Amino acid sequence: MPIYEYYCPTCEIKFEKLRPMTASAEPAECPEGHQGAARVLSVFSAFGRGEDGEPMALAGAGGGCGCGGACSCGAF
């Protein structure tokens, strides 16, 4: 089951909730018990070190796939 991020307009907080994919778009209850929290876009980035020890972007960061060079699909 994936983790989704939601925003509660009553509390003005963002929180995460583990839910089935079939329920991802449904409003959620916030940790304070308010109904109607909406799902928000989650953005992440990951970084690692290349063979030379310099930081480099990994999958999910920067240019995305297709192949902009930020994924690990090997198409470049």
**Which amino acid, residue 24?**
S
Whether residues 27 and 54 share a domain: the answer is: no
Q: Which residue has the tokens 């020890």?
A: 53
Q: Is the residue at 76 inside a domain?
A: no
Domain that holds residue 17: 3-39
Q: Is the residue at 63 inside a domain?
A: yes
pLDDT (tens digit per residue) in 6-64: 999 999 999 999 999 999 889 999 999 999 999 998 777 666 777 787 776 655 444 44
Q: Is the residue at 75 inside a domain?
A: no
Whether residues 7 and 35 share a domain: the answer is: yes
- Residues 11 and 32: their CA atoms lie apart, in Å, by 8
- Tokens representing 35 are 């109904």
DSSP 73: S
Q: Is the residue at 12 inside a domain?
A: yes
Q: Would the pTM count as exceeding 0.85?
A: no
Whether residues 35 and 49 share a domain: the answer is: no
Specify the number of domains making up the chain. Answer: 2
Number of Cβ within a 10 Å radius of residue 41: 5
